[in-house]
Amino acid sequence: MATTGISESPPAAPAPPAPAALELRGVTKEFSLRRSRTVTALESVDLTVGHGEFVALLGPSGCGKSTVLRMVAGLEEPTYGEVLVEGGAPAHLVRRHRLGIAFQEHALLPWASAYDNIALPFRVAGRPVDAARVTELLELVGLEGFADARPRQLSGGMRQRVAIARALVLDPEVLLLDEPFGALDAVTRRRMNFELARIWADQRITTLLVTHDVDEAVLLADRVVVLTGRPGTVRHVEEITLPRPRDRALARNAEFHDIVDRLTALLDEGAE
């Protein structure tokens, strides 16, 4: 409201581009060890994830994948550089309960039923539990009949489904998954991959998935970011243009195998 006429409104400048959903700018992360020694986990990593994009962070274990994810979740601070979520600090999104996360360890409450575990984010956020929403998610992850089951009564794959449903229940803007199927056997793991592809197609949430499984990354992602080395650096970014929905027919897709072979070779070189 310029009443004096001194300040002039800028000439119709192009609107600034909407911030990316996730952005890492020149991020380096050092951990301090005992006796003032430090270890560098990540070295000048740049990474951008667009809205509604599914990005897989692929790399051998120890290259800093989890560290990236933990920084995006606000669980760690970068030593140098900047981590932005929706243009702001991760803490902003966390405070508004807009971030969903699931780990390799299901991290469910052992004394609570599947229903109560999925309802947990409502209770932590101090909101009344939306029973319809919880039931909807139980259905989405295919566990309608297991609402009252406690984690120990569920199989490993079912527990991870509950954990993913819990991450989704508050309808987050960003979903973070750290090797969610890392503890499952190969067959269950692949089955869960297709489950997640289906769930994601239904929700289209901005997702960052950390994995060391090449097939899993290619099968799920719009883009695969390959991280190698110690300290970890971005070695390659692969756009995955395979058609969706991606289902078991992918196993017969030559392009799929092509990409998998290429990325596997990259990881192999990175390990030298």
Partner 1 sequence: MNGRAPQHGTRALHATGRLLSRYWTVLALVAAWGAWVRTQHLNQIVAPTPAAVFGDVLDNPGAYAPDLGWTLLNAAVGVALGMLLGLAGALLVWTSPVLSGLMTPMALIMRSVPVVAMIPVIARVVGFGTAAVLTITTVVSFFPVFVLAGSGLRAAPAATRDVFTVLAASGLTRLRLLLLPGAVPALLVALRLTAPTAVLAAMLAEYLLGTHGLGQLFARSVTFMDPARAWGTALVATVVSVLCFVGARAAERQGTARFT
Task: Verify cis geometry, omega within 30 degrees of 0, for the bond prior to 14.
Answer: no
108 versus 143: smaller Cβ distance to partner 1: 108
Token pair listed for 213: 């499984």
Listed in order, strand segments (DSSP E) in the chain are: 22-32, 38-49, 54-58, 80-85, 99-102, 174-178, 206-211, 223-228, 233-239
- 101 interface partner picked from partner 1, Mg ion, ligand ADP, none, CB below 5 to 8 A per type: partner 1
The window from 58-66, 108-116, 123-131, 186-194 that contacts ligand ADP (CB under 6 A) reads 58-66
- The answer to whether residue 89 forms part of the interface with partner 1 (CB under 8 A) is no
Token pair listed for 23: 């952005």
How many residues touch partner 1 under the rule CB under 8 A: the total is 27
Distance CA 94, CA 73 (A): 8
The window from 53-61, 103-111, 240-248, 260-268 that contacts partner 1 (CB under 8 A) reads 103-111
How many C-beta atoms lie closer than 10 Å to residue 269's C-beta?
10
Distance CA 250, CA 190 (A): 12
Binding residues among 51-80 for Mg ion as defined by CB under 5 A: 66
- The answer to whether residue 39 forms part of the interface with ligand ADP (CB under 6 A) is yes
- The answer to whether residue 115 forms part of the interface with partner 1 (CB under 8 A) is no
Token pair listed for 1: 């409201």
66 versus 117: smaller Cβ distance to Mg ion: 66
Q: Enumerate the β-bridge partners of residue 211.
A: 58
- The answer to whether residue 211 forms part of the interface with Mg ion (CB under 5 A) is no
136 touches 168 (CB < 8 A): no
Which residues, in sequence order, are CB contacts of 61 under 8 Å at separation 6+? 212
**Least distance from partner 1 to the Cβ atom of residue 99, Å:** 6
- 67 interface partner picked from ligand ADP, partner 1, Mg ion, none, CB below 5 to 8 A per type: ligand ADP
**Least distance from partner 1 to the Cβ atom of residue 100, Å:** 8
Applying CB under 6 A, among 24, 27, 58, 63 the residue interacting with ligand ADP is 63
**Least distance from partner 1 to the Cβ atom of residue 93, Å:** 9
